[in-house]
Amino acid sequence: MNTQTQQSDQARTRSIFGVMIMGALVAFLNQTLINIALPQMMDHFHVTAATGNWLTTIFMLVNGIVIPITAFLMNRFTTRQLYITAMGLFTVGTLLCGIAPTFSVILVGRVVQAAGAGILFPLITNVIFTLFPPDRRGFAMGIFGVAMNFAPAVGPTLSGLIVEHYSWRVLFFMMFPIALINVIAAIILVKNVTETSRPKLDVLGVILSTVGFGGLLYAFATGGTKGWTSTEVLAMFIVGGISILFFIFRQLKIDQPLLEFRIFRYRMFTLTTIINVIVTMAMFSGMILMPIYMQNVRGFSPFLSGLLLLPGGIVMGIMSPITGRLFDKFGARWLAVIGLAITVVTTYELTKLETTTTFMYVMIVYTVRMFGMSLLMMPIFTAGLNELALSLNKYGTAMVNTLRMVAGAVGMAFFVSIMMNQGEKHVKNIVTNQQILPADKGSMAEAVNQGTAMGINDAFMIATILSVIAFVLAFFIRKTSPKEDTITNRVKKAS
């Protein structure tokens, strides 16, 4: 009977996990799928680049608003209810995007998509930590890493291939049936695996979180185009920053917070979260700067630029389950140290880009860089959460994902800003030193290309310094086991 029960539990775990990984694959693929298709979509709807970019900006903003409240949602609703709702929203949003007759409709579709997708990552992580014991979590998170790392890397290449021959709508019509099948499979197979309660929703906290994180993400997303000193961007920074400060103060005072900042009492969780934030910023430097270099400086097509990123994504997809096995056996410390050593060296190699650097060189360096990151991303994330009691896991996943979302936005804006500002300085110096006349358009174009490449090199140098800081911190990672929940237990005793 015990054997039958065990086999039944294993079958249930596999079915729930399989359904969620399938949903994660299509949701994470969606993150980068439309980037290459944006010019075609702008032409179709007759909108400017600034307006068209809202299709990516709004997705990030809604994610930043939804993720901080996922801990409350996981407390309030069952796994089944929340997953079906999240994938249902994503599916409806995908259909809306595919059939959208106007730009406003596709923008609404992206909002609905993001509302569903924002719930998925924290929810699936929490389910993994509930279903799997500590000595199996690395492997499970490694499988999850295939969806998280491989799918977004495939997105630009797949998108470039499709939009070259078909309409951009095919991108959404391709995802819709997969998402719909996943919802049907979830209705049949997904069961509840977590405890639920009736927590009180902190309405003021939701408002402060929305204004705070939404404001900061909007400011970072638009600062590069509208100017960091523009009234709108500065106002968003001020309003967002003040709202975040009030939000943190309130969360530390109430018994049922949306984001539990008291989990930073746990040292290993705090250390790995800091490393995670730094690595996320460094990773986004490559994701945002490489396409700019390949297209603007080297003149390669969007498809070839996307193809450059593909081997790195494949390597991360292959390595994720292998890294998970290694984590279960050896822990996170040496995986993180080796991974960050590779990241430091390869990021430094990307500070030497020139206008004649070959496609093959860039692809090899970028791919090896992704290999280094594949050794450390999931291990440090899992190692930090392993220190938390299961009752605190939902707060840990919500916190890490919120900070990663902000780090990604900051990273993109920060590195693009460095590239642009330094690039302009280098162009001026080249024009002055070589005495190039503005009328000499050929020489001016060469100067702009060379200056842009030098600006990209400067941005990668900052990314190298960040990677070195994370490398040093990685030596302090220790293997831990779940510690007593002194936060929610205290609340229960007080009530």
d(CA 263, CA 267): 9
Going from N- to C-terminal start, the domains of the chain cover 8-199, 203-253, 263-494
What's this model's pTM, rounded to 2 decimal places? 0.82
Alpha helices in 350-440 (DSSP H): 359-374, 377-386, 390-433
Q: What is the dihedral of CA 358, 363, 365, 367, to 10 degrees?
A: -170
Q: Which of 129, 121, 122 is nearest to 13 (CA)?
A: 129
420 contacts 293 by C-beta, under 8 angstroms: no
The predicted structure's pLDDT at residue 122 = 87
280 contacts 408 by C-beta, under 8 angstroms: yes
Average pLDDT per 10 consecutive residues for the chain, totaling 495 residues: 62 85 88 78 81 79 84 87 94 94 93 91 86 82 79 76 84 93 92 77 88 84 75 90 92 85 90 92 79 81 76 84 87 92 94 89 91 88 86 85 82 80 86 79 83 90 93 90 71 49
Radius of gyration of the chain (CA): 23
d(CA 208, CA 212): 6
The predicted structure's pLDDT at residue 4 = 61
Domains 8-199 and 263-494 share a fold: yes
Residue 173's Cβ-count burial label (10 Å; 0-12, 13-18, 19+) is middle
241-250 residues labelled b (16+ CB within 10 A) or e (exposed): eebbebbbeb
SS3 assignment, position 161: helix
How many CA atoms, within 13 angstroms, populate the side-chain half-sphere of residue 185? Answer: 18
183 contacts 91 by C-beta, under 8 angstroms: yes
Residue 208's Cβ-count burial label (10 Å; 0-12, 13-18, 19+) is buried
The predicted structure's pLDDT at residue 5 = 60
**Top-tier CATH class for 8-199:** mainly alpha
| Residue 114, phi then psi, degrees to nearest 5 | -65, -35
What CATH code would you report for 263-494?
Answer: 1.20.1250.20
d(CA 175, CA 34): 12
The predicted structure's pLDDT at residue 494 = 47
400 contacts 267 by C-beta, under 8 angstroms: no
